[in-house]
Amino acid sequence: MKEVEHVISVLQRSIKAARNEDTVLLKELSNETIHTASIDQDEDNVTVAVLVYALSKIIERGYSFPQKEYRKFIEYYIHVLDDSVRCLKSGNCKEFSNHIQDIIKKGDSFSMSFKNSIRDVFRKAMINKASRIYEHGISMEKTAKMLDISLWELAEYSGQRNLSDQDPAKSVDVRARIKKAMEIFS
């Protein structure tokens, strides 16, 4: 794993943000980690970014889940992140990876509808973060493989984001486009 100190810092701040239900900070931490992951192309950093983003989405949607299960899951999530920090500080990156996979696979003690909702949040978080990595210039194929999603899912989501992210007020005037076309073809 690259950038261990950065991951420890992100996880510690994520734990604090989760306890305060600060979804804005969680999303910022996820984006910060994606930036680092895109530079290093480190899968552990990508996984942390997905986990932190998924945590923000779960907290945002907390009102829609059965409260007993939601609270139990959030406490479990925070506990695993805390254990992950301890593993990284002791240099045990393999155990860290196992803890992270536990969060994604957790669900034995929850209802089927809650488990399915959580899985859906994680899947969408992976696609969202894959789109962010792709925006940083990593190929679509490599990004899809890194996050174990299909090229189709990534392309569809990235296409929707790119269209909706455009500011219609910033589009080029028709006359300016015609003038530019005339310059190109003259």
Segment 14-26 mean pLDDT: 94
What does 106-175 look like in DSSP terms, one character per residue? --TTS-HHHHHHHHHHHHHHHHHHHHHHHHTT--HHHHHHHHT--HHHHHHHHHHHHHHHS-GGGSPPHH
Question: Does 164 score more than 60 pLDDT?
Answer: no
Q: Residues of 90-113 as b/e, b for ≥16 C-beta within 10 angstroms?
A: eeeeeebbebbeebbeeeeebeee
Domain ranges of the chain: 4-185
Question: Does 130 score more than 70 pLDDT?
Answer: yes
- Of all helices (H) and strands (E), which one includes residue 10? helix 4-19
102-116, pLDDT tens digit by residue?
Answer: 776 665 678 888 888
The two tokens of residue 136 are 């940083």
pLDDT score for 173: 66
pTM: 0.76
Segment 114-125 mean pLDDT: 88
pLDDT score for 108: 61
pLDDT score for 36: 76
Q: What does the CA dihedral 109, 112, 117, 118 come to, rounded to 10 degrees?
A: 30
pLDDT score for 91: 84
Question: Does 15 score more than 90 pLDDT?
Answer: yes
pLDDT score for 56: 93
50-97, pLDDT tens digit by residue?
Answer: 889 999 999 999 989 999 999 998 998 899 889 889 888 988 777 777
90-103, pLDDT tens digit by residue?
Answer: 887 777 777 777 77
165-185, pLDDT tens digit by residue?
Answer: 444 444 556 777 787 777 777
